[in-house]
Structure 1
Amino acid sequence: MSDQSLADHLRFYRLRAALTQGELAERTGVSVRAIRDLERGRALTPHVRSLRLLADGLDLADSEAAQLLALGAGNRTVPAAEVRDEREFAFPSASAGFVGRQSELSWVLEQAEAAGDAVVTRVGVVHGPPGMGKTSLVLTAAHRLREHFPDGCHFVDLGGMSKDPLSAEQAAGRLLRSLGVQVRALPTDPAELFGHYRSLLRERSVLLVLDDAGDAAQVRPLLAASAGSFVLVTSRNVLPDLDGAQRLDLGLMDHEAAVQVLTGIVGDQRCASEPAAVAEVARLCERVPLALRIAGRRLASRPEWSITGFAEQLADSANTLSLLSAGNLQVRAAFELSHRQLSPEAAVMFRRLALAPGRDVGLDLAARLAEQSTATADVALSELADASLVRPGGEPDRYSFHDLLLLFAGEKLAASSDDVEACRQLMIRWLLTKAITASRFFHPDDEPLADDVAVFGDLGAAERWLDREADSWLGALRLAVARERHADVLELAHAMHWYSDHRGAGETWLEVYGAGLDAARVVGTAHDVAVQLNFVTWTLGFVFLRYRDALLVGEEAIALTERENDVIELAWAHLYRSVLKGFLKDLDDAVSSGQRALELFQSAGYETGVTIACNAFGDALVAAGRVDEGLRYQREAIARHLAVIGPRGGSSDDNLASIYLSHSDTLLRNGEVGDAGRAIDQAERLLSTGSVWGRASSHHMRGKYLLALGHDEKAYDELSVSMELVKSTSRRVQLLTMLADLAEKLGRPDEAREHRVRGVALLGRPDLTLNRAETAEIAAALGVPIEVFIN
């Protein structure tokens, strides 16, 4: 099934038919408002009859009509299963409003089914942070499993998080009573009690639900049932020392299920009147079931409240946890139960993690925050993970927690005697210093310093750290900006140049270099300002494709560097101007600026700049129709790079790969297909794994090369990979047009239609940078009127 929405498909089909919403309404009898809501994605449960009328009115093919109906049906809510009468089943009631968690529920049911074939008692542990709905999940499963266990289903609340949890003996006594043993007949000696418990269960097939286990010691003596039995345990702790158990880590709900929980409590009609506000409340509740239930109850008990107003109050982090309280249900209290079990070291770690600027944290940063040794921090984090107060990340020694727990940790930090601002300032400097150290490995002109090697070892380790800790060092930069630490901000922005060339998101670099420019204007020299102006020019023009905005900043850089006689930065400014003018088809200016950049770098004796300028000048010459001259300069760029800089790896390799890719495009244009293929091979060998832009370009060029050879199927695959890597809206829509045409040629009309649907959706986006002629050409290729997109 396509990842595109019903809204995108309906809009595509209407535009393809050259119909306005009013004309489609008149043709089908479906109201304009209904059509508008469908195209905006506001109609979550569209009527099948309306979709059929629209399909007929749009003259859709059978396959297209079927897909439209399927997309509409995909939005429907499946009613919750009917819960059995509690009087028939000696168990706590399951939640009648249980929604979502279908895959998790299936897991529990599958574990129970497997218990029938097991040679020992099967044990399933459902663990997760406070408020995730562990008990609700297992009770819903237990009610469905009633008939699978003819000898009984039994439940006991172990109270593991309470001040007075049940001992294993007390739990065994309660279970024996539920098995029909009279209180007066219960043995008083623990050994006899457990012996009687084991003898009763040995020949029975039962379901035991042991809720809220504090540790494995509470659970282990109760695992005495027969081989056909199933013991289902819930716990905030992972219970890693409970051998042989199958585990389910219960995390946050998905967004749709979270909205369904709220809607089920607050009411369909009220939620339908403020759908955006309901979605925002679900987001602010972090999709935590307990928080959602509390928010829903508060709204349900106050029918006069606006959901939008409640969402605005909830968005104030100072009030969030207090607002998430309804009667005896409190998010803060649920968190407190787990927090009070922590060791002193883990408690310090938990509250200090509130200072971490990223969405997750590594062991080295956590140790720095808690002012603990690495070994102590490792033990503390493991304790927090076992208690489900942090979650292990996708890599070893990385952890995260959701925003509500983060707010709770912040409250604990504020109530402590810790010097919060001193801790934060130390963290900022540590992160920025480490990021600056890592970024120095990417400078093509300098060998790494011995001190830098002592920290990271090599370029690969430096790259992994920068990629992994991107949220953290960028968060530290933001904190430094807020505290007017201009020198630190400028140092980081200056250091990131070569690392940023082929890595990271454009928004990151616009923020980094925008902050660097602001800092340079306060504490920097004219040279510092020029450097940051050039970086901003690069980001706007080469990452965001905002060519004219980039040129405006670049002209400021040229004026400043000419006035200050800053030759190298003037050369960079002209180089960027050459490429931008080429993008805008101002080819004479592109050639003259490219030549000027090359001459300036040569006069300064800056070989790295000469190499890059040779390639840029060659590109400008090729665009201007002077292909032979352009090829000569591209070849000179490759030769200079290999002779002067050498294939040292890292950023230098990515830069050389970029030159090879540019060269391959020119070779294809010149009909030298074999040489183009060899140039692409060279580029692919040189690209680093972190160069997303480079990999997107290499797949794009490989696709064009295969097209030139007539290998349409392989070309389609390569261009599809490039499509998934490219971030620019303009480049994506151009690739989608190529893919649509290729899909038609390969006899895949459904795929061609999907590409066109996606292309039309992108053509309407405000970040599109295509000019009128380019937009008209692509709109025509996609089969929709250009007037829709150009006013």
Structure 2
Amino acid sequence: MRRRCGHGHPMSTPSTSPDRLPQNASGSSRLGVRRRMDNAKAHGTSQRSPYRLQLLGPVAAWREGRTVDLGPPLQRAALCVLAVRAGRIITKDTLIGGLWGDRPPNTAEQSIYTYIAGLRRVLETTPGRRGPYSTLISRSRGYVLEREAVEADVGDFERHLAEARRLQTTGDPRGVLRALEAATECWSGPALCGVPGPFAQAERVRLEELRLTALEDRADALLDLELHQEAVTALTELVAEAPLRERTRDLLMLALYRSGRQADALDTYLDVKRLLAERLGVDPGEALRERYELILRADPSLDPAQSETTTGGMQFRPPRQLPRAATGFVGRVEELVRLRSLLTPWDGGVPQAVVAITGAPGTGKSALAVQAAHTAAHAFPDGQLYVNLLGATPGVERLEPIGVLGRLLRALGLEGKAVPSEEDEAAAVLRDRLDGRRTLILLDDAAGPEQVRSLLGLPSGNTVLITSRESFAVADDCVRLVLRRMRRSEGVTVLSKLVGAERISGDPAAAARLVELCGGLPLALRLAAARLGERPDWSVRDLGGRLEDRRRTLHELESGQIAVRSSLELSYEGLARGGELDRLAARTLCHLGVLHVASMTADVVAALVGEPADAAERALDRLARAHLLETGEAGRYQPHDLVRLFTIELADTHLTPRVRKDALMRALGFYGATTRHASTLLDPHRVHSPWPDVPQRPLALDTPAEAKAWLSKELPHVISAASQAMASEDDEIARMGAYVGFTLHWQLTRGVRYRELLEVSHHTLLVGRQTDDPNIQALAHGGISAALANLGRPAEAVPHQKAELELRRAQRDRFGEMRALGNLSVAQFELGRYTDAYESAEVQNAIAREIGSAVGERHSLLMWARARRALGDTAGALDQLEQALTLARVAGDQHHESISLLFLAELCLDRGDPSTAKDYLERGLRLSRESGQRGREGHLLRVLARVHRLLRMPEPALACTQEALAIARRSGNEQLRRQAEDELREIGEAFPGVEVSPPNSAEEALSPSASRP
């Protein structure tokens, strides 16, 4: 007689004979269970365990092949809680919650004692009334079912799944198939069948989802092996069992199509579409709809030979970027269950679009996110991506959204040169790449919703998992999980897992105190456990006593940080007392706290420590092996946030002020010299500020490409270092910081980061005044003026430019005077003071010829011509512009050449010749982009829009205007914004049928710059 149990699996009625084993779902008897035991042995399960426990079916147990009576249903439920978490301490509260939920009876605690006693009578090999017990052991406020004492089919099942996941990454479909078939053979019916209680219900749901996913993965492996008919058979059975799972239907459609049954594949889609509408009132997801469309038109991509994604002729493997999950991760059970339900919904639906794990520093947000991502990885076959956003890293630059988008697109196979440089375009390309896919993106340490806003709103089926210290309450379509500190019981469990249950249980009071000293922070607990592992002669109380000593010296800090700092100091002392390399690593760790940047290369650390680069790299690698540093992209090292705070205090306590100053000055010298060298390589025609004579030599960069790559990676770190130095009370350090800030001028201008240029320049001016240094003051006023002019605020720029001019004249610096006059002419022109701009440019030209400054002569001709045009002297303006264009071409100065072409185009428009103006503008745009001087593009595009309008070309006119307007909004250039909006109105009036609504956001492009020498 057949019966069904729980979720409808067909089950055989188990025999009541004590020496008979129940049959499994396929009708096999004891042989089936023995096969599963053999599989377990092959995967490392000990065969010395006296008990075999079945949870994947009606709960049952055998000892030496004979059935064991496990008692009443609630006693079986208690066994399930203990068995699923074998080897871990399960408190009475956990057992009560697992059996009765939030409303236990008054007799619950006494019932737990009764069930534990009943289980001991069954499970203990030599049972006694009061122990000692070897299988079900009492621990502090709870119980532990010894892992080695019981074998469970759940463990076998999960080991087979893990093996299948490993083999998936190696491209071994046959191995995957074998592992998944072994996993499914572990089942004898619905999990925990007949067991009551909320824990059993939740565990049933979890295991059932894993089983269905394993069956889908098995079918996927059959398709990879081109066993299409076998896949059809398996998937047809699975559809009958779970008719609403869209992935099952998707795979079945593909299998039918590849079996030559296109009509049946289409009918499968129509059937699930009808069922979803009838039962849930929804339509099929995007992935299923896309599969239907592909099958409908017999798309070649459905053929097995075309099923692999290729890039540039090379096979593209879906990215698997997740960091390694923490060894021995324990605790956070409720949070993991919640995350699993969001990432892999029990009903087979699409995953939650955005999930944010938020909480205080050190609560284990990142570790939990990585653990959950690994658990759900099977549900995202198109890849798992990872980016550390550095949002809460003390004193360093967070990653910009465009940089994050670039990393993701490159990971998804887009070539670097094809990655858009504008945020909205890159986000659109990302959405296009992910359409119809299932991809998990883990964004670690976000500063807040704004940092990741462009990464949200991905196509259905993809999930963004975020960790952050900030609230994500305002993020759209986001489920938040607020992470608190671990409870004491969880903390003790963490220590037991990492150090060993016997060692921790030997002194439960000391273990509980150690958790308190660590503030319940997972990072602190892991560090404490690591130290105990290094020193097996220490007791838990010994380590606790050490932490108590450190706590007294750091009473002003939060308890969590106290514990982390104490554990870190123990690791540092171990290095300081070690061999030569360990001592160098300890000294390097001290020096890392001197320079406040997000991450460092060995070259920077070499300057900081005063050692050769290869020695610095060895020290950094040693610190990484000691888990005091993390390795990011190739060649970069960074400490965890709490480790970073520790290194800052380490530098203050272990290095003298002189040593700290010398180290910082060396690092600043390296940063400034290399930034200046790289900027010169990129554009040798721009005028760079003076640089002090320092012993540090720049990094050996030989080509513009190398210079660009170095600046793109190091610019945020150079800004952080300069800002740190300029905030110093030491005048020498502050001066060096100011000069490093000046080396950033052209890179910030080239990258249209005008707000940052303005901020850095204001800091340099404060340094100049603090140190009473007229040269720094003059350079600072010039930088402020440049930033304000590029932001479209010329009225504010003029006083700073005049201040620089006065200082240069007082210093009798003819070159500085010439340059200041040229920049003053720019601001005067933008204010409509054309006569003043003409006079400033005329004097600049005279000085430039006197001192032989070719770049000054070119700039003066450009501004002189521009002022002449505004004053009505068109012929004189044309003559000077042609001179400037010729000089720029001879010199190879693409920046001045593009400006000359812009001004010539404006003259053409004055003469009613938009066609010639169009040629000039298109050449100017090309040159601007080739040279990397993106700042001119807003102005070039604005004028090009006018040209298209005059030529009766509404669509390109509108496109250029909208791009110019987006540039203006992003940069904050109000002048350009007003000009672009005026042009937009002109287009609307000239072409009434054209929709001329402006862009919705300002996050679309880079901003322009005014012309400067």
TM-score category of the 2 structures, normalised to the smaller one: 0.5 to 0.7
Q: Which runs of 5+ in 2 are unaligned?
A: 1-196, 226-317, 349-367, 389-437, 452-467, 473-478, 489-514, 535-570, 576-581, 1005-1013
Counterpart Cα distance in 1 of 2:824 and 2:860: 12
- Helix, strand or coil at the partner of 1:252: strand
Query: What is aligned with 1:610?
Result: 857
Counterpart Cα distance in 2 of 1:417 and 1:528: 30
Cα gap change, 1:89/1:579 in structure 2, threshold over 3 Å: closer, same or farther? closer
- Helix, strand or coil at the partner of 1:625: coil
The Cα of 1:473 is off from its aligned counterpart by 1.5
Counterpart Cα distance in 1 of 2:754 and 2:909: 29
The answer to whether structure 1 residue 252 and structure 2 residue 500 are counterparts is: no
The answer to whether structure 1 residue 392 and structure 2 residue 584 are counterparts is: no
Q: Is the 8 A contact 2:674 2:699 kept in 1?
A: no
Query: What is aligned with 2:872?
Result: 625
The Cα of 1:491 is off from its aligned counterpart by 4.0
Q: Which moved more, 1:702-711 or 1:118-127?
A: 118-127
The Cα of 1:605 is off from its aligned counterpart by 3.1
The answer to whether structure 1 residue 358 and structure 2 residue 605 are counterparts is: no
The Cα of 1:624 is off from its aligned counterpart by 2.3
Aligned letter for 2:796? D
The answer to whether structure 1 residue 85 and structure 2 residue 198 are counterparts is: yes
Query: What is aligned with 2:962?
Result: 720
Counterpart Cα distance in 2 of 1:742 and 1:455: 51
Q: Is the 8 A contact 1:126 1:249 kept in 2?
A: no
Query: What is aligned with 2:944?
Result: 702
Cα gap change, 1:257/1:400 in structure 2, threshold over 3 Å: closer, same or farther? same
CA-based RMSD: 5.8
The Cα of 1:353 is off from its aligned counterpart by 5.1
Cα gap change, 1:212/1:622 in structure 2, threshold over 3 Å: closer, same or farther? closer
The Cα of 1:698 is off from its aligned counterpart by 3.6
Q: Which structure would you say has the larger Rg?
A: 2
Query: What is aligned with 1:571?
Result: 818
Q: Is the 8 A contact 2:966 2:1001 kept in 1?
A: no
The Cα of 1:614 is off from its aligned counterpart by 0.4
The Cα of 1:496 is off from its aligned counterpart by 5.0
The Cα of 1:335 is off from its aligned counterpart by 6.0
The answer to whether structure 1 residue 428 and structure 2 residue 672 are counterparts is: no
Cα gap change, 1:326/1:716 in structure 2, threshold over 3 Å: closer, same or farther? farther
Cα gap change, 1:633/1:606 in structure 2, threshold over 3 Å: closer, same or farther? same
Q: Is the 8 A contact 2:761 2:780 kept in 1?
A: yes
Q: Which runs of 5+ in 1 are unaligned?
A: 1-83, 95-105, 149-208, 220-226, 238-245, 260-278, 284-288, 299-323, 763-791
Counterpart Cα distance in 2 of 1:506 and 1:747: 36
Counterpart Cα distance in 2 of 1:568 and 1:680: 32
Larger helix proportion of the pair: 1
Counterpart Cα distance in 2 of 1:254 and 1:585: 45
Counterpart Cα distance in 2 of 1:514 and 1:413: 29
Cα gap change, 1:612/1:747 in structure 2, threshold over 3 Å: closer, same or farther? same
The answer to whether structure 1 residue 118 and structure 2 residue 365 are counterparts is: no
Q: Is the 8 A contact 1:126 1:248 kept in 2?
A: no
Q: Deviations over 1:500-533 (max 9, x none)?
A: 5533522332344444445556778766654543
Counterpart Cα distance in 2 of 1:331 and 1:402: 13
The Cα of 1:249 is off from its aligned counterpart by 6.9
Aligned letter for 1:336? L
Query: TM (normalized to structure 1)?
Result: 0.53
Counterpart Cα distance in 2 of 1:556 and 1:538: 13
Counterpart Cα distance in 2 of 1:494 and 1:123: 40
Counterpart Cα distance in 2 of 1:108 and 1:691: 57
Aligned letter for 1:428? L
Aligned residues: 525
Cα gap change, 1:116/1:581 in structure 2, threshold over 3 Å: closer, same or farther? same
Aligned letter for 2:722? L
Aligned letter for 1:329? G
The answer to whether structure 1 residue 678 and structure 2 residue 919 are counterparts is: yes
The Cα of 1:355 is off from its aligned counterpart by 4.8
Aligned letter for 2:876? E
Counterpart Cα distance in 1 of 2:810 and 2:340: 79
Q: Is the 8 A contact 2:603 2:613 kept in 1?
A: no
- Helix, strand or coil at the partner of 1:469: helix
The Cα of 1:333 is off from its aligned counterpart by 1.6
Query: What is aligned with 2:707?
Result: 462
Q: Deviations over 1:148-186 (max 9, x none)?
A: 8xxxxxxxxxxxxxxxxxxxxxxxxxxxxxxxxxxxxxx
Q: Deviations over 1:319-374 (max 9, x none)?
A: xxxxx999963255256369769996988877765555334444533565575744
Query: What is aligned with 1:139?
Result: 337
Q: Is the 8 A contact 2:205 2:346 kept in 1?
A: no
Please list, as runs of the form range in 1=range in 2, the aligned pairs for 1:281-680 lying within 5 A after superposition.
282=471, 292-294=482-484, 329-330=520-521, 332-333=523-524, 336=527, 354-362=593-601, 364-366=603-605, 373-374=613-614, 377=617, 384=624, 390=630, 392-393=632-633, 396-398=634-636, 403-404=641-642, 406-407=644-645, 410=648, 423-441=663-681, 442-444=683-685, 455-481=700-726, 482=728, 483-485=730-732, 487-489=735-737, 491-492=739-740, 495=743, 498-499=746-747, 501-519=749-767, 529-540=777-788, 542-643=789-890, 646-647=891-892, 652-680=893-921
The Cα of 1:456 is off from its aligned counterpart by 1.0
Counterpart Cα distance in 1 of 2:331 and 2:950: 57
Counterpart Cα distance in 2 of 1:758 and 1:248: 27
Q: Deviations over 1:723-766 (max 9, x none)?
A: 444413412354345446647877888x74554x769x99xxxx
The Cα of 1:621 is off from its aligned counterpart by 1.4
Aligned letter for 2:758? L
The Cα of 1:716 is off from its aligned counterpart by 2.3
Q: Is the 8 A contact 2:680 2:686 kept in 1?
A: no
Counterpart Cα distance in 2 of 1:116 and 1:382: 45
Counterpart Cα distance in 2 of 1:712 and 1:422: 62
Aligned letter for 1:712? P
Counterpart Cα distance in 1 of 2:662 and 2:718: 18
Q: Is the 8 A contact 1:126 1:134 kept in 2?
A: no
Q: Deviations over 1:110-160 (max 9, x none)?
A: 898545533599999964687999966753365666688xxxxxxxxxxxx
The Cα of 1:675 is off from its aligned counterpart by 2.7
Counterpart Cα distance in 1 of 2:319 and 2:816: 67
Aligned letter for 2:937? R
Q: Deviations over 1:611-662 (max 9, x none)?
A: 110000111112223223222211111122234xx11xxxx32232222223
Q: Is the 8 A contact 2:731 2:771 kept in 1?
A: no
Aligned letter for 2:670? W
Q: Is the 8 A contact 1:502 1:690 kept in 2?
A: yes
Q: Is the 8 A contact 1:713 1:746 kept in 2?
A: no
Counterpart Cα distance in 2 of 1:429 and 1:641: 33
The Cα of 1:455 is off from its aligned counterpart by 1.5
- Helix, strand or coil at the partner of 1:329: coil
Structure with the greater relative contact order (CA < 8 A, sep ≥ 6): 1 or 2? 1
Please list, as runs of the form range in 1=range in 2, the aligned pairs for 1:12-31 lying within 5 A after superposition.
none
Q: Is the 8 A contact 1:440 1:495 kept in 2?
A: no
Q: Is the 8 A contact 2:671 2:740 kept in 1?
A: no
Q: Is the 8 A contact 2:668 2:740 kept in 1?
A: no
Q: Is the 8 A contact 1:579 1:620 kept in 2?
A: no
Cα gap change, 1:468/1:282 in structure 2, threshold over 3 Å: closer, same or farther? same
Counterpart Cα distance in 1 of 2:669 and 2:325: 32
